[in-house]
């Protein structure tokens, strides 16, 4: 177990290095000058050059990268060029809305996905099965931003059941937060629900072919208990794995939905930083999101590893 964890953590280093190099190069090769954005288009070339020197942008790219990566190794992600605030502080300030949205979307995805997958497997080959598979295909095909705009038009503008855009802080009433996050959570979670439903159906149909399912039925166990206690229970490991991986993608993939619904999360922070060419914030936030994604997937792998009945404590087969 310790050896497995050590190798997984060791594999994190090259991932972070590659991501840092790619992000750094893309940002610095993109058109636009942060110094010119700060000073405005009316600034003289001498003022722009002086600002670039003050910001360290006049140095060669390799020197800038080595300096930035060295600061990262010491835990210093730098300061925003515009807000005079550390990148870590900005990240933590915007993390709460993103986590709240991701958790709500994951809850919706779990309820809809597991329910749909179990019903589809139980009614295999029936009209219900075909309808659920059709809805799952539709859910995986429609882009989140398009679904979000449809939800805003129908449920917020026409029916006025939910607010069009906005967010309420954690200091407000719990149900008020839920009310504001419902539409974006649905738009974000339906695709994950479709993925979970398809995975649940496929895994449960495979488990249903196992001999112990036939034995349980031969003993007269009611079909609903065969479905829940035997089939679903023995299908949970791959289902939980896909749920964990989907949660990691929710945390790191809320940029478009947050922009559509005006939620001040990590996605909005990245969009705003790109618009004002705040390269320090972009680099630091993307790197932190990568770390979050990898660590969440690592936690999911560890849970799956520990929950696998075929593996003993030392990692060998029983």
Q: How far apart are CA 240 and CA 238, in angstroms?
A: 6
- Residue 133 CB contacts under 8 Å (≥ 6 apart), including other chains: 120, 198, 201
Single pTM value for the model: 0.79
Q: What is the pLDDT along the chain (318 residues), one digit of tens a residue?
A: 677 677 767 777 787 788 888 888 877 777 767 777 777 777 777 877 887 777 777 788 788 888 887 878 787 888 887 777 888 888 888 888 888 888 899 899 999 988 888 888 888 888 988 998 888 888 888 887 888 888 888 888 888 888 888 787 766 677 888 888 889 999 888 888 988 888 888 888 888 777 877 777 777 777 777 777 777 777 777 787 787 778 777 777 777 888 888 888 888 888 888 887 888 888 888 888 888 887 877 777 777 666 555 544 444 444
């Amino acid at each position: 177990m310790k050896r497995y964890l050590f190798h997984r953590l060791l594999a994190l280093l090259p991932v972070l290095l590659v991501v840092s190099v790619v992000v750094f190069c893309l940002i610095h090769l993109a058109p636009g000058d942060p110094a010119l954005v700060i000073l405005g288009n009316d600034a003289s070339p001498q003022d722009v050059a002086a600002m670039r020197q003050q910001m360290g942008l006049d140095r060669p790219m390799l020197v800038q990268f080595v300096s930035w990566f060295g600061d990262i190794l010491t835990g210093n992600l730098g300061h925003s060029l515009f807000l005079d605030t550390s990148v870590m502080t900005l990240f933590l300030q915007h993390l709460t809305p993103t986590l709240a949205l991701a958790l709500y979307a994951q809850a919706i995805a779990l309820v809809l996905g597991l329910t749909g997958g179990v019903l589809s497997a139980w009614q295999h080959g029936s009209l219900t099965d075909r309808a659920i598979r059709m809805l799952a295909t539709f859910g995986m095909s429609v882009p989140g931003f398009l679904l979000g705009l449809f939800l805003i038009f129908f449920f917020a503008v026409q029916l006025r059941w939910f607010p069009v855009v906005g967010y309420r802080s954690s200091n407000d009433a719990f149900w008020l937060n839920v009310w504001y996050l419902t539409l974006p959570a649905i738009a974000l979670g339906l695709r994950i629900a479709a993925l979970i439903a398809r995975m649940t159906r496929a895994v449960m149909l495979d488990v249903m072919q196992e001999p112990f399912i036939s034995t349980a039925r031969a003993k007269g166990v009611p079909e609903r208990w065969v479905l829940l206690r035997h089939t679903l229970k023995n299908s949970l490991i791959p289902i939980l794995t896909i749920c964990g991986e989907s949660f990691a993608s929710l945390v790191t993939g809320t940029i478009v939905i947050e922009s559509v619904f005006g939620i001040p999360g990590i996605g909005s922070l990245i969009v705003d930083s790109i618009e004002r060419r705040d390269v320090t914030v972009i680099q630091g936030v993307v790197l932190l999101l990568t770390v979050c994604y990898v660590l969440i997937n690592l936690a999911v792998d560890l849970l799956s590893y520990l929950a696998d009945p075929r593996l003993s404590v030392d990692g060998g087969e029983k």
